[in-house]
Amino acid sequence: MEVIEVLRMKEGTGQTSYANNSLLQKQVINMTMPIAQAAIINVYCNMNPTTRTMCMADLGCSSGPNTLFVMYELVRTIYETRDKSGSQSLEFQVYLNDLPKNDFNTIFKSLSGSIEKMGTGLGPCFIMGAPGSFYGRLFPSKTLHFVYSSYSLMWLSQVPKGIENNKGNIYIGSTSPPSVIDAYYRQFKSDFNTFLNCRSEEVLSGGNMVLTILGRESEDQSSREGYYIWELLAMVLNQMVSEGIIEEGKMDTFNIPQYTPSPGEVKLEVEKEGSFIINSLEVSQVDWSASAKGFSTNPIRENEGYDLAECMRAVAEPMLANHFGESIIDNVFRRYSDILSDRMAKEDPKFYNVTIVMVKK
Ligand SMILES: C[S@@+](CC[C@H](N)C(=O)[O-])C[C@H]1O[C@@H](n2cnc3c(N)ncnc32)[C@H](O)[C@@H]1O
């Protein structure tokens, strides 16, 4: 599976689109926004006074309301700071990056309204698409003041090699041999190092990066925190194998190109690569129920499993459909919704977010 070909969030603005099913990711953006705001104010206050344009990038921006919300909030933060300090006006160059198959059309179609919004009192803001993998160079040398990324860097550049013995799993799972966990971790280390290398060329000295990565709180690589959500999807697929709906061979060759790192693992790679100084590193949590839309007149608990399944569908459907075919998708997510509802009624599962702020040396 070529990740660059198949990894994308569900396009458009329809019922199953990422745009309509990314409330959980929005909650993470909201929770970590004060960290990003403090970092961008820090960059602004330390910028060369003759600089007239601040360049920033959102890496793995996807498409939908979250995409423009992030950049709007960051630009607004600078304008408020500037108003208070009475400093000179500033122009913004904003790059929205994602893989080439991301639905950039939906972003740019929705832009006219947002530009107007940004125009009222916020000043000139030039928004550009930057399609490509963030595991390669995306921008000219020493041009970026600020880099932001939320819930994107857990995606790997490829499925790790040497995980053929991970039978019955689609990611790390409770039955994964240690060699599988190690293969995923090695891929993460290599990818994250490449990412840091590329950004170290592009970010100006003193520029900041704020990255939030879906990860773990525990330093234990076999902790369920990082893989529980995928293990439950594997359970659905295995059920469908046993009913003859999915071929066993197909199940054995489906693997999620993701790694959910711990804070210690992130820190180690940044320190090893050496181009950035860590300003802060923290872990936050978000309940699985954060994806609940709450439209039901019943207590929303009933809908939580369904909404989380829809959120996961918006993330995983393109990959699953590419591997297993479109025809099983509704069936998969109906079953997944039931399992998620059951688990959420009995347990209190959470996603863990590792947020790191770093400054370019
Ligand atoms: C879960 S979405 C997060 C979107 C948005 N930041 C948010 O918080 O709602 C992850 C995004 O990362 C993108 N992505 C994954 N790997 C990437 C890569 N190597 N280069 C650029 N984008 C990537 C995916 O295509 C996807 O749009």
Cβ–Cβ under 8 Å, residues 276 and 202: no
Distance from residue 89's CA to the centre of ligand 1 (Å):
32
Query: Domain 3-360: which topology?
Result: Rossmann fold (3.40.50)
Residue 257: CB within 6 Å of ligand 1? no
Residue 57: CB within 6 Å of ligand 1? no
Distance from residue 242's CA to the centre of ligand 1 (Å):
33
pTM: 0.90
d(CA 148, CA 36): 8
CA distances from 276 to 32, 221, 285, 288 (A): 20, 25, 25, 32
Q: What would the pLDDT profile of 131-140 be if each residue is shown by its tens digit?
A: 999 999 999 9
Residue whose CA is closest, atom 27 of ligand 1? 62
Q: What would the pLDDT profile of 200-242 be if each residue is shown by its tens digit?
A: 999 999 999 999 999 999 999 989 998 999 999 999 999 999 9
For the chain, domain boundaries: 3-360
Q: With 80 as the cut, is the pLDDT of residue 34 above it?
A: yes
Residue whose CA is closest, atom 20 of ligand 1? 133
Of the residues 105, 155, 159, which should be mutated to test ligand 1's pocket, given the most ligand atoms within 8 Å of the CB? 155
Distance from residue 48's CA to the centre of ligand 1 (Å):
31
Region 37-48 average pLDDT: 91
Distance from residue 327's CA to the centre of ligand 1 (Å):
25
Residue 135: CB within 6 Å of ligand 1? yes
pLDDT for position 302: 54
